[in-house]
């Protein structure tokens, strides 16, 4: 297999074009055709001599994951895309959430994940593969083609932990925000992580580096789910080596460095993480630096979950609306900005925590 040209930043492409004995400006002609116009065949490139197309073919491929299936939710306008990664047996999923005139694409950064979070179907698969920058971008370009326009938002919240595939994630962000290519505003992008000490700080520094000016406003979301250290360590095992106090310190640094607000993702487990103490700790937390909470109803997964979540396993867990609204009201009374996220695509296993990279007909 040739190298995947989707993996190349503009600067890398310029270097390769020069190595092929061509002028640097050719890279700027090729780059938008790959990343913005979504052309998938070298022979269809405009303004490129035939000889250059042949040279490109000798070194590169335009390699997209195979689109295996698109599933449509019957309860809302969510679509789930199942892809096969060429040359492997691995599958990944992306989700398109369309609501209130906005299209959000949720992309995967790994096939599987070794973080083992108790509530997450991807975590139950184990780690299969880090996706290259091109494999991350190809999901976005395929869904863009499906909707016929650029999305309102892109969230790195699909399968995998972005910070465990850090370099490829950063590269994909650099390419997607490049104005000479797809040119997505960094304000429209959110990266979500369970939190790794050292990586949040590095992310802040990368976003503010002079080489990455177009990435400056990318937002960060922390999958928090509990402010109780013991409980969080049970449901997110890697938080044992990435303790909350250290993560909060780095989030504070992230805000001070980037001036970008932080979002806390909080799956609501009725009777588990909705106590008065949770409300007190969350209130204190959001006052440390500008931040808000996205409250996510728990979505059932068809994998067994261990303690302390086993009581939510193996059944269509139904949420008590009164209790979740009461929790939200109490937080709001304390001045906390809290938004209830809906369960888009829950019937096709496309909602938060449900992606498992397989056909589920
Ligand atoms: S929640 Fe994220 S980090 Fe945790 S297992 Fe799932 S994909 Fe991995």
Give the atom of ligand 1 at the shortest distance from the alpha carbon of 120: 6
How far does residue 113's CA lie from ligand 1's centre (Å)?
6
Domains of the chain (ranges, CATH numbers): 3-61 (1.10.150.530), 66-348 (3.20.20.70)
Concerning whether 352 is annotated as a catalytic residue, the answer is yes
Share of the chain above pLDDT 90, in %: 83
Helix (H) or strand (E) run with residue 112 in it: strand 110-113
Distances (CA, A) of 286 to 251, 283, 294, 329: 11, 6, 12, 16
Residue nearest ligand 1's atom 4 by CA: 117
Would you say the CB of residue 17 lies under 6 angstroms from ligand 1? no
pLDDT digits (tens, 9 = 90+) for 100-153: 889 999 999 999 999 999 989 899 899 999 999 999 999 999 999 999 999 999
pLDDT bracket for residue 307 (50, 70, 90):
confident
The per-residue DSSP string of 231-272 comes to HHHHHSGGGGSS-HHHHHHHHHHHHHHH---EEEEEEE-TTT
Please tell me the distance from the alpha carbon of residue 11 to that of residue 314, in angstroms, as a whole number. Answer: 50
Among positive and negative, which fits the CA dihedral 165, 171, 172, 174? positive
Residues 6+ apart with CB under 8 A from 181: 10, 31, 32, 34, 35, 36, 175
Catalytic residue among 14, 90, 93, 265: 93
Strand 66-72 relative to strand 79-84: parallel, antiparallel, unpaired?
antiparallel
Concerning whether 120 is annotated as a catalytic residue, the answer is no
Q: What angle do CA 66, 68, 69 make, to 5 degrees?
A: 140
The per-residue DSSP string of 127-138 comes to EEEEPPHHHHHH
* Distance in Å from the first CA to the final CA of the chain: 33
Tokens found for residue 165: 């595939």
Average pLDDT, the chain: 93
Residue nearest ligand 1's atom 5 by CA: 123
pLDDT at 318 over 70: no
Give the atom of ligand 1 at the shortest distance from the alpha carbon of 164: 3
Residue nearest ligand 1's atom 3 by CA: 161
Nearest CA-CA partner of 113 in 103, 101, 126: 126
Is residue 233 a contact partner of residue 240, using CB atoms and an 8 Å limit? yes
Would you say the CB of residue 160 lies under 6 angstroms from ligand 1? yes
Residue matched to tokens 């193996």? 314
pLDDT digits (tens, 9 = 90+) for 175-215: 999 999 999 999 999 999 999 999 999 999 999 999 999 99
State residue 306's pLDDT score: 80
List phi, psi (to 5°) of 138: -60, -30
pLDDT at 245 over 90: yes
pLDDT digits (tens, 9 = 90+) for 332-355: 999 999 999 877 777 777 777 777
Is residue 63 a contact partner of residue 6, using CB atoms and an 8 Å limit? yes
**DSSP-based three-state secondary structure for 156:** strand
Would you say the CB of residue 235 lies under 6 angstroms from ligand 1? no
Exposure of 91 by Cβ count < 10 A (0-12 exposed, 13-18 middle, 19+ buried)? Answer: buried
Cβ neighbours around 20 below 10 Å, total: 14
Beta partners for residue 92, in sequence order: 83
Would you say the CB of residue 123 lies under 6 angstroms from ligand 1? yes
Helix (H) or strand (E) run with residue 340 in it: strand 338-340
pLDDT digits (tens, 9 = 90+) for 32-62: 999 999 999 999 999 999 999 999 999 999 9
Residues 6+ apart with CB under 8 A from 308: 231, 234, 235, 272
State residue 319's pLDDT score: 67
State residue 315's pLDDT score: 55
State residue 314's pLDDT score: 58
How far does residue 110's CA lie from ligand 1's centre (Å)?
10
């Amino acid at each position: 297999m040739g190298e995947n040209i989707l993996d190349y930043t503009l600067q890398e492409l310029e270097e390769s074009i020069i190595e092929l004995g061509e002028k640097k400006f050719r890279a700027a002609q090729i780059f938008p055709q790959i990343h913005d116009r979504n052309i998938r065949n070298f022979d269809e490139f405009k303004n490129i001599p035939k000889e250059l197309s042949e040279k490109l073919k000798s070194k590169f491929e335009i390699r997209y994951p195979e689109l295996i299936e698109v599933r449509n939710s019957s309860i809302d306008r969510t679509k789930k895309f199942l892809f096969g990664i060429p040359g492997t047996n691995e599958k990944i999923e992306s989700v398109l959430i369309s609501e209130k005139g906005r299209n959000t694409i949720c992309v995967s950064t790994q096939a599987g994940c070794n973080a083992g979070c108790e509530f997450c179907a991807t975590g139950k698969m184990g780690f299969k593969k880090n996706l290259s920058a091109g494999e991350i971008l190809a999901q976005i370009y395929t869904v863009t083609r499906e909707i016929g326009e650029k999305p309102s938002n892109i969230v790195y919240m699909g399968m995998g932990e972005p910070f465990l595939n850090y370099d490829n994630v950063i590269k994909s962000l650099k390419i997607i925000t490049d104005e000479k290519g797809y040119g997505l505003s960094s304000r429209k992008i959110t990266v979500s992580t369970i939190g790794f000490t050292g990586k949040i700080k590095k992310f802040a520094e990368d976003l503010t580096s002079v080489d990455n000016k177009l990435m400056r406003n990318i937002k960060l979301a922390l999958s928090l789910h509990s402010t109780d250290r013991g409980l969080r360590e049970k449901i997110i095992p890697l938080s044992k080596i990435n303790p909350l106090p250290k993560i909060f310190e780095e989030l504070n640094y992230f805000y001070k460095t980037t001036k970008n607000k932080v979002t806390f993702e909080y799956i609501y487990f009725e009777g588990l993480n909705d106590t008065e103490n949770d409300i007190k700790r969350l209130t204190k937390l959001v006052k440390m630096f500008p931040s808000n909470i996205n409250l996510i109803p728990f979505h059932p997964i068809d994998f067994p979950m261990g303690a302390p979540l086993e009581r939510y396993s193996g059944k269509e867990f139904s949420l008590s609306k009164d209790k979740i609204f009461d929790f939200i009201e109490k937080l709001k009374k304390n001045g906390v900005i809290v938004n209830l996220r809906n369960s888009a695509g829950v019937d096709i296993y496309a909602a938060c925590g449900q992606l498992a990279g397989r056909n589920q007909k």
